[in-house]
Amino acid sequence: MALPLLAGAADPLSAQAAAYARVAAACGRVRACTGLTVWGLRDPDSWLDTYSLTRASAPNRPLLLNGAGARKPAYRAVARGLMTRCAGRSRRPCSKPWP
């Protein structure tokens, strides 16, 4: 979820987190969904900054960790979204929360 796409938001990092949360919560509600895949860990490792069609909007900062490896709001949003699997009686129980 590239930040330039959310540039119109008052707080792009919060908007990015909200978008990630929606995706993770959708996964958390479906028993067959066992995880999410992101293409990299830290923002500087993203392929978006080198790909010809998205290079112009660099830095895109689309990932869950910033350049220093610190968790962005999106990281916590994904963790909360996936934990929706633990809510309610019909969901598979979770033994412990995400870090």
**Full-model pTM:** 0.81
Q: Read off the pLDDT of residues 22-63 as tens digits, 9 standing for 90 and up.
A: 999 888 888 788 788 888 889 999 999 888 888 888 889 999
Helix 12-28 to helix 73-82 angle (10° resolution) is 20
| Residue 17 scores a pLDDT above 90 | yes
Measured distance CA(11)–CA(47) in Å, rounded? 24
